């Protein structure tokens, strides 16, 4: 089928099967354009909870489909390509977390939402890149915290909270970690009128904020935070340090503004493993359903629910 025919076939299957497509901000443009909702990983799950559709197609990586299945146990959750993993989520296993907890028996475990369901189930709180600081601030300042798995997000949390009783797991998103601070500074020198939007998973965050070029306007923001900022900002040009899939939505929502990738090759190979053909096949054959063990789901939801209670 042509692309047009595939899109039409997907729309027809969605109508007949009471299904919706929920896509992440890093998905390729054509996937975002056919989705019923586009957002960050937690926003995807929260929207999926509210929509009455029976079937959810999760256009994102596997932990996002798991999070949707945790949040929506009464719905069928399909992942179009189960090979779409996440280097950050896979940087810590349940066994590794249990061993870490055993070494710090009185610590509170805060897990980034970019983790497997089994890791969430072993955690006290989940967090996102937008609310990690608020979650940590809500915990007794005398309690030790095990923050996982993203070292760079954890470093940002330490910088923002001033807490020194936070232990960090040495995990990273291989895409964000390789965004080079020297290239970023070069972009800012080339576009001195631009604002700099940096995702806290970036390995360049600390250096970019510690020794910024003169007059730089830098903001450390989640993907949804970047979208909100870009809509409200008076500026017309932005250098964006995150996975380049976000630039599609930024440009689509702000056609009168310019968005420049800090690193043009910052493309997640796992996010790009979801194609229109995969979505069509998932809908037509109802394959790759994501199911969570009930006990894991219950315990993982507790960690998510504690985060939601904070805001």
> Would the pLDDT of 214 be above 80?
no
Q: Which of 59-73, 103-117, 169-183, 289-303 has the lowest mean pLDDT?
A: 169-183
Asked if the model's pLDDT at residue 206 lies above 70, the reply is no
Write out pLDDT tens, residues 136-187. 999 999 999 999 999 989 999 999 999 999 999 999 988 888 888 888 888 8
Higher pLDDT, 289 or 189: 289
Q: Is 65 exposed, middle or buried (0-12, 13-18, 19+ CB in 10 A)?
A: buried
Rounded Cα gap, residues 272 and 276, in angstroms: 11
Strand partners, 109: 146
| pLDDT for the residue numbered 211 | 39
- The reported pLDDT for the residue numbered 213 is 47
Tell me the percentage of the chain whose pLDDT exceeds 70: 95
**CA proximity to 289, closest of 115, 71, 89, 56:** 56
Across the range 89-113, mean pLDDT stands at 97
pLDDT digits (tens, 9 = 90+) for 12-38: 999 999 999 999 999 999 999 999 999
Q: Which residues contact 150 (CB under 8 A, 6 or more apart)?
A: 88, 112, 114, 169, 171, 172, 173, 201
pLDDT of residue 3: 87
Residue 290 has pLDDT above 90, yes or no: yes
Q: Is the pLDDT of residue 7 over 80?
A: yes
Cα 101 to Cα 109, 121, 307, distances in angstroms: 8, 13, 20
Max CA pair span of the chain: 60
* The predicted structure's pLDDT at residue 202: 80
Pairing label, strands 195-198, 237-241: parallel
The mean-pLDDT minimum among 43-47, 60-64, 80-84, 234-238 falls in 43-47
Distance CA 66, CA 73 (A): 10
Instruction: Output 136-142 pairs: Cβ under 8 A, ≥24 positions apart.
Output: 136/110, 136/161, 136/163, 136/166, 137/161, 138/310, 139/108, 139/110, 140/108, 141/165
Pairs from 235-239 (Cβ < 8 Å, separation ≥ 24)? 235/193, 235/194, 235/195, 236/193, 237/191, 237/193, 237/194, 237/195, 238/194, 238/195, 238/196, 238/197, 239/184, 239/187, 239/188, 239/191, 239/194, 239/195, 239/196, 239/197
Q: What is the set of domains in the chain, with CATH numbers?
A: 3-86+271-291 (3.40.50.10800), 89-172 (3.40.50.10800), 175-261 (3.40.50.10800)
> What pLDDT does residue 129 have?
86
Average pLDDT of the residues in 79-85: 96
pLDDT classification of 205: cutoffs 50, 70, 90: low
Residue 57 has pLDDT above 70, yes or no: yes
Work out the angle between the directed axes of helices 245-253 and 223-232 (0-180°, nearest 10). 30
- Residue 109 CB contacts under 8 Å (≥ 6 apart), including other chains: 97, 101, 122, 123, 124, 125, 145, 146, 148
Cβ-contact 147, 110 below 8 angstroms: yes
Query: What is the reported pLDDT for 215?
Result: 53
Q: What are phi and psi of 53, to 5 degrees?
A: -55, 150
Q: Give the pLDDT confidence score for residue 31 in this predicted structure.
A: 96
């Amino acid at each position: 089928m042509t692309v047009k025919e595939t899109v039409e076939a997907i729309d027809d299957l969605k109508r007949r099967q009471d299904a919706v497509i929920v896509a992440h901000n890093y998905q390729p443009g054509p996937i975002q354009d056919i989705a019923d909702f586009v957002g960050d990983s937690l926003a995807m799950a929260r929207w999926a909870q509210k929509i009455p559709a029976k079937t959810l197609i999760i256009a994102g990586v596997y932990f996002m489909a798991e999070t949707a299945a945790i949040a929506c146990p009464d719905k069928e959750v399909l992942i179009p390509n189960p090979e779409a993993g996440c280097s950050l989520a896979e940087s810590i296993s349940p066994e590794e977390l249990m061993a870490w907890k055993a070494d710090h028996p009185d610590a509170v475990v805060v897990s980034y939402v970019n983790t497997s369901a089994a890791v969430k189930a072993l955690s006290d709180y989940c967090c996102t890149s937008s609310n990690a600081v608020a979650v940590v601030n809500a915990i007794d300042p005398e309690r030790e915290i095990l923050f996982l798995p993203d070292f760079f997000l954890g470093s940002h949390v330490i910088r923002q909270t001033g807490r020194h009783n936070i232990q960090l797991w040495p995990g990273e998103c291989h895409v964000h970690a390789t965004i080079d601070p020297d290239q970023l500074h070069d972009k800012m020198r080339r576009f001195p009128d631009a604002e700099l939007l940096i995702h806290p998973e970036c390995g360049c965050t600390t250096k970019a904020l510690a020794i910024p070029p003169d007059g730089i306007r830098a903001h450390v923001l989640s993907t949804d935070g970047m979208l909100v900022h870009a809509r409200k900002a008076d500026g017309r040009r932005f250098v964006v340090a995150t996975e380049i899939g976000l630039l599609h939505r930024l440009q689509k929502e702000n056609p009168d503004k310019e968005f420049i990738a800090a690193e043009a090759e910052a493309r997640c190979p796992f996010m790009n493993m979801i194609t229109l053909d995969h979505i069509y096949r998932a809908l037509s054959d109802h394959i790759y359903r994501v199911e969570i063990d009930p006990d894991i789901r219950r315990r993982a939801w507790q960690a998510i629910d504690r985060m939601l209670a904070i805001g």
